[in-house]
Amino acid sequence: MAALIEIASPAAASRPRKGAGGRWGWLLLPAVVLLAVLFLVPLGLMAWRSVTEPAPGAGNYSWFFTSDVALATLVRTLAVGAVVTLVTLLLSYPYAYLMTVAGVRARIWLTLLVLLPFWTSLMVRTFAWVVLLQDNGVVNQLLGTVGLGPLQLIRTPTGVVIGMSQVLMPFMVLPLYAVMSGIDRRLLDAAQGMGARPAVAFWRVFVPLSLPGVGAGALTVFITSLGFYVTPALLGSPDQALISQQIFTQVNGLLAWGRGGAMGVVLLAVTLVLLGLVGVVLRITRTRGGAR
């Protein structure tokens, strides 16, 4: 009887059964094989070619770190990614907050609106921005009517940032909304009840609690922006190319697989270093917050 009571208890039900992971672990096999074939194998081949073509050694990496053009391209790519991340954050934070305070019907429409880019081809969206941002496009016509234009928006980093921000905005909105929707709004009422003004309560209570969503969205947008090719190629200028365009030129135009592989490995290494730094900062912040 005691054994039956132990089995039926909620605590026992919540404990994982011994051997369950081993019996069901084979379900991970297809995903692991797919990841290895489509990601790890190409990544390994790229790294191998970077040190073997056209000759064994670190010549390709030496070329990259001594080439002003390659280094400038890397810095430009990181700068564009940072600007795109900041723009999407500034646009997405109030949008996600509005989703949390809106009614059910309005929230559904806001969610559909933010998910709309996922249902539209990237090429279609980018060509739409080409039409809108061209010298005689709709955007410049509107700017001209208020005395701010025309401006050169296409074939510039500004056009690239606009196009990439629109594409990547859902990747910022959704993590923000997921975190904001779980924040107990009674905390804001409690802060106001203790004498804090609404704006102060928002900045001192709500914003700190939403920082996990900010971090998740910012990392997703920044890392994704580093590999963009179509949008910078159509909206940007060859003189302001990003590293993905340079890799394509090295591999497809010059058949320099070694140099293209070295550029990809350097970009991957920089991304991992940035992720590590962000992880350290978050760990320190969490430790200080716990110490308080």
pLDDT in tens, the chain (292 residues): 344 334 344 444 445 455 555 577 788 888 888 888 888 888 888 889 889 888 888 888 999 899 898 899 999 999 999 999 999 999 999 999 999 988 889 989 998 888 887 788 888 888 888 888 888 888 888 888 887 767 888 888 888 999 999 999 999 999 999 999 988 888 888 888 888 888 888 888 888 888 888 988 999 999 999 888 888 988 888 888 898 989 888 888 888 889 899 999 999 998 888 888 877 877 776 676 555 5
pTM of the model: 0.82
Residue 196 burial (C-beta neighbours within 10 Å; 0-12, 13-18, 19+): middle
- The pLDDT assigned to 12 comes to 46
CATH architecture of 56-291: Orthogonal Bundle (1.10)
Q: What is the DSSP letter of 288?
A: H
- The pLDDT assigned to 27 comes to 83
**Among residues 84, 289, 43, 106, which one has the least CA distance to residue 167?**
84
Q: What is the DSSP letter of 214?
A: H
- The pLDDT assigned to 292 comes to 56
- The pLDDT assigned to 3 comes to 43
- The pLDDT assigned to 11 comes to 47
- The pLDDT assigned to 285 comes to 66
What long-range pairs does 233-236 form, CB within 8 A, spacing at least 24?
234/126, 234/127, 234/129, 234/130, 234/163, 235/126, 235/129, 235/130, 235/133, 235/154, 235/155, 235/159, 235/160, 235/162, 235/163, 236/155, 236/156, 236/157, 236/159, 236/160
- The pLDDT assigned to 87 comes to 95
